[in-house]
Amino acid sequence: SRPFNFSAGPAMLPELVLRRAMDEMLDWHGSGMCVAEMSHRGKEFMSIAERAEADLRDLLAIPANYKVLFLQGGASSQFAMIPMNLLGRGNGADYLNTGSWSKKAIAEAKRFGPVHVAATTEASRFTRAPAQDELALRDEAAYVHYTPNETIEGVEFPYVPEVGDKPLVADMSSTILSRPIEVARFGLIYAGAQKNIGPAGLTIVIVREDLIGSPIAGAPTMFDYRTHADNDSMYNTPPTYAWYLAGLVFAWLKDLGGLQAMAEINERKAAALYAAIDESGFYANPVDPSARSWMNVPFTLADPDLDATFLTEAKAAGLLTLKGHRSVGGMRASIYNAMPEEGVRALITFMQDFERRYG
């Protein structure tokens, strides 16, 4: 009965999660408190925090030699925190430049040391992923950074880059939990929560223990992974309510059958939407089919003068926030985990009807 919200983030949350949060709002499990009112060091919140971490570890099968950190500052703070903590391990870092978010990560890393762009797809206007044999990786690199899913361009790597013994660092903000991954292939995974994890304000970092503990000189206490790893992410006040809601999302995912079950649903949703776009002469998606994102589907209308009408009518039909990112224009349907298949079907029906009337 609620409208379907295609926002890129903050994004839709599962209705069951919102209902559960509502039920628990005034009195969490007989504590007499809302979670937002609890001390982060009290036994009630500690149990919420531990449960959330255990469920996330379970969902992603995170090996025991990885720490899971629940931080603030967004993925954008990680653009700085990563070079601050890892650059000392080698001579500069290798970055793959595959879209707007990797560009931002590169710009920030350059403030801390040399950055080598080991591959770029800018010449194709970021409409594909580079192949493994296009990656000019250096032996002396401290780490290799890439963005598995570019939220703005809708480009997703169809493979995990092979980087030898160097730590692979991945900005998974818009793809984490959309499918199973092999965590051991990564040195560090980070994600802002506001797409597939929960509300904004929480940032998850999954980091191999041996990468913690040698930050650059002068790194602020809050920007040293050691600070958070040694204090169970409670060195200072963590984003408690966002952590709690993330825990409800993890429990929802487990009830659904875990990430394999989620991946099957996501694959079906994306396949249906891309097929509808490709079969029409009216809508277009510029991304190479091998690298099309399961989560973010940008598309254009044959006549951009119809964009405003499309958005107005979509909203009236209960399909919200379809406007594309200002840098690429057109439309973008973000279809994260919480978007039900029914929502994608409703979007496709609307698009086909719109094309019949205006195409």
Which residues form the interface with ligand PLP (CB under 6 A)? 9, 74-76, 101, 147, 151, 171, 173-174, 192
Report the nearest approach of ligand PLP to the CB of residue 2 (Å).
23
Residues near 221 by Cβ (< 8 Å), separated by ≥ 6? Answer: 227, 235
Question: 10 preceded by cis ω (within 30°)?
Answer: yes
Residues near 274 by Cβ (< 8 Å), separated by ≥ 6? Answer: 285, 289, 292, 297
75 annotated ligand binder: yes
State both tokens at 306.
Answer: 């119809």
Active-site residues, by number, are 101, 171, 195
For ligand PLP, the closer CB: 161 or 354: 161
Question: CA angle 191-196-202, nearest 5°?
Answer: 50
Report the nearest approach of ligand PLP to the CB of residue 64 (Å).
27
For ligand PLP, the closer CB: 95 or 101: 101
Measure the CA–CA gap between 163 and 161, rounded to whole angstroms: 6
194 annotated ligand binder: yes
Report the nearest approach of ligand PLP to the CB of residue 1 (Å).
28
Cβ proximity of 126 and 182 under 8 Å: no
Report the nearest approach of ligand PLP to the CB of residue 7 (Å).
10
Measure the CA–CA gap between 204 and 195, rounded to whole angstroms: 12
For ligand PLP, the closer CB: 38 or 178: 178
Measure the CA–CA gap between 103 and 115, rounded to whole angstroms: 11
b/e 202-213 (16+ beta carbons within 10 angstroms → b): bbbbbbbeebbe
For ligand PLP, the closer CB: 92 or 192: 192
76 annotated ligand binder: yes
1 annotated ligand binder: no
300 annotated ligand binder: no
In a 3-state reduction of DSSP, which class is residue 118? strand
Cβ proximity of 81 and 204 under 8 Å: no
The binding site for L-glutamate consists of 41
The binding site consists of 41, 75-76, 101, 151, 171, 194, 236-237
The binding site for pyridoxal 5'-phosphate consists of 75-76, 101, 151, 171, 194, 236-237
